[in-house]
Amino acid sequence: MRFFSKHQDFSKSAISVIALVNCLANSVLAFTPPPVFENTVLSRTIDITGSYVRETVSITIKNVADKPEYIYYFALGPDSFTKIAVFEGRERRSNKGSLLTITPSTKTNDEENVNFYEIELSTPLKPHEESVIQFGIAFVDQIAPSPEYASQSDSQLLSYDGSRFTLSAYPSISQTLKVNTVGFNSEDLTAEDFQADEDNKEEGEEKYNLLPESEATALTYGPFTNVKPYSVSPMIVRYEYPRAVLKTTKLQRDIWISHWGATISFEESYQLHHFGTKLKDNSFSRLEFNKRSPDYNLNIASFKGMEIMLPENAREPYYTDLVGNVSTSHFRKSHDGSSLTLKPRYPLFGGWNYNFTIGWSVDLDEYVKTLEPDTYLLKVPLLQGPEEMPYDEVVINIVLPEGSTGIDIATLHPSQPETLFFTKSYLDFAGRPSLQLVYNNLIDSYRRTFVFVTYKYTPQAAFSKPLVLSGVFATLFTSILFLSKIDLSVSSFKPKKA
């Protein structure tokens, strides 16, 4: 995670683009991290209960070198490397459990087909000393329907391709893996094939029992002992999933600030995509849909609507799609927030898209504080929007009042190699200075992070509020995943009778 802040005077009207180093350029082709660590105990949990993959990896590392070491290389296959939405870690050695500094490495090892993240320990680890490091990682686009097509009366089967061994540049004394599933007929499609190969291994070679133990809502593997560096054991977990799997291929989020009207208006345009099982021959039958069979089938896995939480004091909400206002949207206000329930006119099946726009307003002082006379601080969530949502692309436009100057922006940026760019442009948007932020591979957890903008603005009417800056920037570094419930409750996946 990095903190970006760049001051630029709007009067220059410049379009500036901060393009960060492309990590894959200038790479060292066969980098091997020095063998200074050993994974004493490595345990990994892969959670595939939602529409993106969440992993937690806990590693007891030991310095096996003869001098203090502080850089641990976390290895990832190139497929995983480009799909990271969040990668954060903490170290348990310091009792605070401080967040670790994690940087995608420019070094790769093409022979072993791996990329690395550099993990900087809080203090160097002395020879023979151990420490526990833990990671929370979220990946997008790692789940796909298998088979891709089915008929409306079939159930939706999804698959996750991964490895039973956790890829590592270091040897592991012991590794375990747990795959949390929704608990509907999960199976490891390849385990038996690979087990036969394991059993035929030569004398002296390490043999593993690759067959998982199936529990109601999990597959557990291992412990695997003495796993060599860069070991992989490909697996395909296939499971029945009685819910729509959605992603937003593109979100445009426009935030308009009006001092004159003392409001902030939000407008969000979603291009939604159901990436689950597609209907064979595109043969949707309304009759079959209305039958409401109690069995799992694609009707149950279709998208029929969702609830979007809005700020408690949201006003004038609206929801439109291509045809205009949608009568079935429903706005509800309560003490813990407001929500907008959307229902498209037709159920959405795998491969289908749905575009819609929502909007709302709140009072200006919910998000804008006066720092000093005529100088303001805007603090808005990076995302709002629905739960359990991966995003391919998010474009955020922040439109400031006409005449704003001295604009400065700070935000947390996802540390994802493909998205190591950050577009900041000052566009002339109907005469109002605007900032544009472009992100790839986000997930709903980014609702807990903020974009900060400071600007100077001299309105006709005085607008002043008390100075509230202390502590604001500290909140930039809060954890995204560790604060969230990583193990989702399975009870919410009870088959719904449409």
Residues that bind ligand NAG (CB under 6 A): 271, 322, 324-325, 353, 355
The residue (of 170 and 352) whose beta carbon lies closer to ligand NAG is: 352
Q: Which residues contact 30 (CB under 8 A, 6 or more apart)?
A: 109, 110, 111
Residue 295 CB, shortest distance to ligand NAG, in Å, is 29
The residue (of 269 and 405) whose beta carbon lies closer to ligand NAG is: 269
In angstroms, the CA 142 to CA 163 distance is: 12
Q: Where are the beta strands (DSSP E) in 323-429?
A: 324-325, 330-334, 337-342, 353-363, 368-372, 375-381, 390-399, 405-413, 421-424, 426-429
Query: Residue 354 is encoded by which pair of tokens?
Result: 């749905």
The residue (of 293 and 357) whose beta carbon lies closer to ligand NAG is: 357
Residue 321 CB, shortest distance to ligand NAG, in Å, is 8
Residue 340 CB, shortest distance to ligand NAG, in Å, is 14
The residue (of 324 and 431) whose beta carbon lies closer to ligand NAG is: 324
CB 402 within 8 A of CB 431: yes
Amino acid residing at 238:
R
CB 431 within 8 A of CB 118: no
Residue 315 CB, shortest distance to ligand NAG, in Å, is 13
- Expressed in angstroms, the distance from the first to the final Cα of the chain is 41
The residue (of 331 and 429) whose beta carbon lies closer to ligand NAG is: 331
Residue 280 CB, shortest distance to ligand NAG, in Å, is 20
Query: Residue 452 is encoded by which pair of tokens?
Result: 């900060």
Amino acid residing at 206:
E
In angstroms, the CA 60 to CA 38 distance is: 8
In angstroms, the CA 300 to CA 102 distance is: 40
The residue (of 282 and 353) whose beta carbon lies closer to ligand NAG is: 353
The residue (of 271 and 425) whose beta carbon lies closer to ligand NAG is: 271
Residue 324 CB, shortest distance to ligand NAG, in Å, is 3
Residue 342 CB, shortest distance to ligand NAG, in Å, is 14
